[in-house]
Structure 1
Amino acid sequence: MGRGDLGFLGLNAPLVTPMGRGHGLCGSSRSDRGAITAPSMSYAKKNKKKKKLMKKGLIRKPEDTRLLDLPVPEALEGSIAIVWFRKDLRLRDNEALALANTADHVILLYVFDEREFGPDSLSSFGFEKTGPFQAAFLIESVKNLRRNCRMRGVELLIRTGKPEKIITDMCREYLSNGMDVNVLAQKEVTKEETTVEFLLQRSLKRISTEEARSKLHLLWGSTLHHIQDLPYTASNFFPISFTTFKQRVDRKKRKGIVRPEIEIPEFIKPPPEPELEPGDVPSLSQDLKVHGLMEPLELEQPFPMPQSCYDFRGGEDQALERIDDFIWKKDALYQYSELKNSMGTSDFSTKLSPYLALGCVSARTVWWEAMRYQEKHPRKVQQGTFNLEVNLQWRDFFRLTAVVYKNQLFARDGLGQRDKKGRLTSRTFAKRDPTEEQWDRIRKWMDGETGVPFIDAPMRELKYSGYMSNRCRQNCASYLVNDLGCPDWRIGAEYFQSKLVDHDVTSNWMGWQYISAVSNDPKHGRRYPVLKQALAYDPYGIFVRRWLPELALCPAPEIHAPFLFSEEEQEAYKMKVGETYPVPVVAPWKIPEEIDRPSEVPVEEEAEVRERKPKLQEEVEALVGDIDGSEDLEEDESERFFTADSDEHVDSEEDFLAELMALEEDGTEDMEDDDEELEEVEGLGDLEASAEEAEYEADEEVDVDLEEDDDELDFDDLEDNLLEDDEDDQSGKAVAADEESQEAVAEAGAKDVSKFW
């Protein structure tokens, strides 16, 4: 967020390269058992010739071509620096602010882009691009940023309009006075944001003169690992597998791949004369025309709603306060792994996802704070800090995947998997709009009226609070695409975007692709049995009762199948199927025979639920038939998720080199030289791999069989990206602090990662 069978992945996975899309591993063959055999000898000859060209300086070395080149000056003396805040609404650990302070004058600016708000800024399927919850959170964050700037003696200018036009006009005024102007901003990765960057860069170039120049400098600051520090280059491909990504990053991390935080400048230089008008923070409804924040559930309810698991308040101060509260005051990092499947409480996750989405706090700040806590409590929270790091790396992985695949993130067929001829082998969606009947189902899904309590409760939570737990996001997405038969997965992705307070473009859209089986993941989608999930993660109906008050009197576990109640039972429970609660839109899933129960539930209540469960099982089967395992997750899919195999990386590199040398003649090197080159190709994929790296790879080889509890995939947030491990005896155990134990934890974690933002 490779995953699944690497035998399928090896030859068929396409790759976006500087030279175009590849068509598999050139010159390779596959044995009967699916393993990738050595490339042909001609490939090694081309590889050797490529090295000779590098030595002569005729082509660039791999380390010279990064995933994204972002040249940044060391200082900006003699100029005016405009810091354009985007999704980095913070002063702490802000590289743009630190660099701007090397200029003579500093201007701080935030622009509310009019194209992102209001009824005129709708998505393809008619949803608001920025919903009321994230808009309110954004306004609070900007206000907090302005307050912090004023405490340091500078003003944050606030404007509403098109950033490229507003900034260009501002620069033009200063250029007329003969001063260079440098605009500093955080680099974004998706289409709309990069389009604004292009338009601004072009405008600044046009207004520059020989006497005074203006330029846009884009800096990377949205991930845990800086993009320039990653071990991926133009010929050392960014992998489609998170496991491979993590292996490579963790290996280099020993050399210090997580950069230290950037401190807030003690003194921020003043703006030039004359100072501009500060501007006002726009109102939510009048200026931005974003409505819906006060929609009632039954009666008029205040915001946030009482049922909400957490009161999200925007701003850097609130983000740092949450970190301190979660890690230090409540000691919640210690239980970070144990609470992975909880729902509806304030501390089952860090609740930092909205702050990371808008950059109120950096991923590095979160990571370094966790490291400081672990240093103080080495034995106590080792597993928790490891899980936290993995979740931050998942966020990096999705953002960097967007750098590679660009607009395919929003395509109907997604990133997809392709064969050697470039044909899609993954799931495809027909190019047609939903019918009226399908739209009726989709609307019921959005309103929490599907007749399935474990779907309706989280959908109402999303609608009225802007938040939904990790577990529920994957279930609701699976239900829309797989059960309701939604003809376009992007409807769900756009709806989530319009409602989530913590919406992150890459995490949300990549998550929907994985569930819908249109991603580059070799696994073909995730389909979740709703009743199985309900009984496993809300067996006593606590979460359902919170958001479905019409079912408040229903007992567990029957509360998850209210359509089975008799007339007498419905009357006793003060509900009526078809009137106070809808009839299911589609038939429910088969209830599993064995489910895990939370240990904290009283034994008497658990025994009562277990005793009544077989009867519920029989009634469901009598109603919908004995559903076979085809609807359930296959056994191998429920137990395996990622495949950590370094050969995937070789495929990527060989594919690139074959493209690169396609125009070159085949050399006539000695057989001994060919064998030597083949040995390099069969390694991790680094043409210039050092002996140290080779030794590490041998020591740190990860088993390809990685186990999952139910093949789940999450796209919630940092805190909800908890490691999946269905074995209770392994969750929550403290790991010894010695080096050998740390290696064991890291290796186990790489095999068991299943969460993403």
Structure 2
Amino acid sequence: METVIVLFNRDLRVHDHPALAEACARARWVVPLFVVDPGVRARGRGGFLAEAVNDLRASLRDLGGDLVVREGDPVAEAMRVADEVGAQAVWVSGDVTPYARRRERRLAAACAERRLEFRAFPGVTVVPAGELRPLGGDHYRVFTPYWRAWAACGRREVLAAPRLVRVPDGLEPGAAPVPPRVPHGNLRGGETGARRRLELWLKLCLADYDEGHDDLSEDRTSMLSPYLHFGCVSPAEVAARACGRPGAEPFVRQLCWRDFYHQVALAFPGLSRRDYRPRDAGWTDDPEAVEAWKAGMTGIPVVDAGMRQLSTEGWMHNRARLIVGSYLTKRLKVHWRVGGEHFMDLLLDADFANNWGNWQWVAGTGNDTRPNRVLNPVRQARKLDPDGEYVRRYVPELAAVPAPLIHEPWKAVPPIPGYPAPLAPDRMNA
């Protein structure tokens, strides 16, 4: 094959990239292409994405190639570049979001019109989303059977980065996105940072992951999820490198949860709009409560700490996400879509499948086998932040409050100045 275009989307890396690897092996010329799509809202992830694209360009240049950057409709721009270089094929990494699937259908149709080959490769998940199916069903609705099937199935080979990427002469690369001056915590986008974090975390932290991953104050999670979302690191490589190490199974199980929600999203495209399992939850419309929740001013310290961490860092500890979600949907009775949209706006790792799957899980409309589960925020905080370190870090009004009261400041006499009374105190023991 003479020339192949590899259209990058949520796969911003050169290691273990099946489409890129095969293009470099089979074609004389390869055109790595990234299209800045005005139809996709980067939201709070714009800076992280721009850093990842710039890092990808640097990696491709180190391999002798480049990243061609265009702006506009991805299908139109891909066809324009294909005409310019006389390409025979356009290859992508397949995805499961409704938008990505529409884009892939449009790309396939446009390629067919020009008699170009279109292929969608694996790479966004460990196991391709539609590959595992239960008997008599199109997808797994419960995690544990999926975990058993996922753990037992064969895996594709993890691929090295290409040795050489040959880009046709005379092709204008285009300007890479400029990261906006918006802080997003301590994480920086790109494969370079992702691989460095993975290496250190596997070496230093994996062994005690199960013991400490719910600890709010220390946060011993890997923080790889933003990199997984943008494909700066391959989930298949993460799983392969973790498996077999001491303490790996609980962490690998989290990678399986990620795959689980991708296969749910593939089978149920309405995951962000409709109840996966309809139930009469009696949702309320309470704009003031919603704004207090978003601002971290609910009067429930662990909830407020989580929400303030989100607004300042674009990140929230995994257990805090469950606590703030349960509080919004189960105690304030606010619809899960409100919380999900706020997370989509601010989280660096706001992945369609995982964000909406988790919000429906915590609201009792999703894949949780115990839909009436309610997390008591005070009990969770006492257990997972016993000395109040997490709360003090993000709620400075409570910095001087002693441990016995920091998770229930409404009991203090006199009241804590500058900190609100709790919302819906009558529901605290629901």
TM over 0.5: yes
Residue correspondences, number: 429
Residue identity matched to 2:70? R
The CA distance in 2 between the partners of 1:485 and 1:563, in whole Å, is 22
Q: 1:89 maps to what in 2?
A: 12
Q: Secondary structure at the match of 2:339?
A: helix
The CA distance in 1 between the partners of 2:405 and 2:222, in whole Å, is 32
Change beyond 3 A, Cα 1:561–1:233? closer
The CA distance in 2 between the partners of 1:586 and 1:231, in whole Å, is 43
1:473 shift after superposition: 0.3
Change beyond 3 A, Cα 1:342–1:226? same
Q: Secondary structure at the match of 2:120?
A: strand
Which runs of structure 2 are paired with 1:578-617 in the superposition (5 Å)? 580-587=418-425
Q: Secondary structure at the match of 1:351?
A: coil
Q: 2:252 maps to what in 1?
A: 389
Cα pair 2:331 2:427 within 8 Å, conserved: no
Q: 1:478 maps to what in 2?
A: 326
1:321 shift after superposition: 0.7
Q: Secondary structure at the match of 1:481?
A: helix
Which runs of structure 2 are paired with 1:639-654 in the superposition (5 Å)? none
Q: Secondary structure at the match of 1:81?
A: strand
Matched, 1:184 2:91: yes
The CA distance in 1 between the partners of 2:84 and 2:259, in whole Å, is 38
The CA distance in 1 between the partners of 2:346 and 2:355, in whole Å, is 12
Which piece of structure 1 moves more, 241-250 or 107-116?
Answer: 241-250
1:583 shift after superposition: 1.7
Q: 2:159 maps to what in 1?
A: 262
Q: 1:25 maps to what in 2?
A: none
Q: 1:469 maps to what in 2?
A: 317
Residue among 234, 251, 258 paired with 1:362: 234
Q: CA RMSD in A?
A: 2.1
The CA distance in 2 between the partners of 1:550 and 1:388, in whole Å, is 35
Q: Secondary structure at the match of 1:142?
A: helix
The CA distance in 2 between the partners of 1:223 and 1:544, in whole Å, is 34
1:227 shift after superposition: 5.0
Gap runs ≥5 in structure 1: 1-76, 118-129, 286-290, 295-302, 305-310, 375-380, 417-423, 591-626, 632-757
Cα pair 2:5 2:87 within 8 Å, conserved: no
Residue among 330, 336, 352 paired with 2:209: 336
Change beyond 3 A, Cα 1:428–1:408? farther
Q: Secondary structure at the match of 1:338?
A: helix
Deviations 1:368-422, CA, capped at 9 Å, x for gaps: 22247x3xxxxxx1xx1111221111111111111112x221223x211xxxxxx
Residue among 231, 239, 258 paired with 2:140: 239
1:355 shift after superposition: 0.8
1:555 shift after superposition: 0.7
Cα pair 1:224 1:363 within 8 Å, conserved: yes
The CA distance in 2 between the partners of 1:520 and 1:552, in whole Å, is 38
Residue identity matched to 2:293? W
Residue among 146, 149, 172 paired with 2:83: 172
Which runs of structure 2 are paired with 1:401-480 in the superposition (5 Å)? 401-405=264-268, 407-412=269-274, 414-416=275-277, 424=278, 426-427=279-280, 435=285, 438-480=286-328
Matched, 1:326 2:201: yes
Q: 1:699 maps to what in 2?
A: none
The CA distance in 1 between the partners of 2:7 and 2:217, in whole Å, is 37
The CA distance in 2 between the partners of 1:90 and 1:160, in whole Å, is 20
Cα pair 1:453 1:560 within 8 Å, conserved: yes
TM-score, normalised via structure 2 length: 0.94
Residue identity matched to 1:503? A
Change beyond 3 A, Cα 1:245–1:171? same
Q: 1:201 maps to what in 2?
A: 108
Q: Secondary structure at the match of 2:187?
A: coil
Which runs of structure 2 are paired with 1:212-231 in the superposition (5 Å)? 213-226=115-128, 230-231=131-132
Deviations 1:289-341, CA, capped at 9 Å, x for gaps: xx8x35xxxxxxxx64xxxxxx211111111111111122x2x1111111022
Q: Secondary structure at the match of 1:97?
A: helix
Which runs of structure 2 are paired with 1:568-587 in the superposition (5 Å)? 570=415, 575-576=416-417, 580-587=418-425
1:528 shift after superposition: 1.2
Change beyond 3 A, Cα 1:172–1:525? farther
Q: Which aligned segments of 4 or more residues in structure 1 are displaced greater than 6 angstroms?
A: none
1:104 shift after superposition: 2.3
The CA distance in 2 between the partners of 1:589 and 1:553, in whole Å, is 27
The CA distance in 2 between the partners of 1:240 and 1:226, in whole Å, is 16
1:97 shift after superposition: 0.5
Q: Secondary structure at the match of 1:313?
A: coil
The CA distance in 2 between the partners of 1:522 and 1:326, in whole Å, is 32
Residue among 75, 98, 107 paired with 2:31: 107
Q: 1:279 maps to what in 2?
A: 174
Deviations 1:51-96, CA, capped at 9 Å, x for gaps: xxxxxxxxxxxxxxxxxxxxxxxxxx2x320011111111110010
Which runs of structure 2 are paired with 1:620-631 in the superposition (5 Å)? 631=430
Q: Secondary structure at the match of 2:164?
A: coil
Cα pair 1:415 1:518 within 8 Å, conserved: yes
Change beyond 3 A, Cα 1:474–1:371? closer
Cα pair 1:240 1:521 within 8 Å, conserved: no
Q: Give the % identical residues.
A: 31
The CA distance in 1 between the partners of 2:224 and 2:306, in whole Å, is 19
Residue identity matched to 1:458? G
Which structure's CA Rg is the greater one? Answer: 1
Q: Secondary structure at the match of 1:557?
A: helix
Change beyond 3 A, Cα 1:525–1:220? farther
Gap runs ≥5 in structure 2: none
1:429 shift after superposition: 5.8
Change beyond 3 A, Cα 1:428–1:586? closer
Q: Secondary structure at the match of 1:137?
A: helix
The CA distance in 2 between the partners of 1:480 and 1:515, in whole Å, is 10
Cα pair 1:531 1:588 within 8 Å, conserved: no
Cα pair 1:82 1:109 within 8 Å, conserved: yes
The CA distance in 2 between the partners of 1:548 and 1:448, in whole Å, is 9
Change beyond 3 A, Cα 1:241–1:404? same
Deviations 1:199-224, CA, capped at 9 Å, x for gaps: 22223333x1xxxx223211121122
Deviations 1:263-314, CA, capped at 9 Å, x for gaps: 222122332x4x22111122344xxxxx8x35xxxxxxxx64xxxxxx2111
Change beyond 3 A, Cα 1:585–1:362? same
Matched, 1:147 2:147: no
1:170 shift after superposition: 1.8
The CA distance in 1 between the partners of 2:32 and 2:173, in whole Å, is 10
- Larger helix proportion of the pair: 2
The CA distance in 2 between the partners of 1:534 and 1:344, in whole Å, is 10
Residue identity matched to 2:197? R
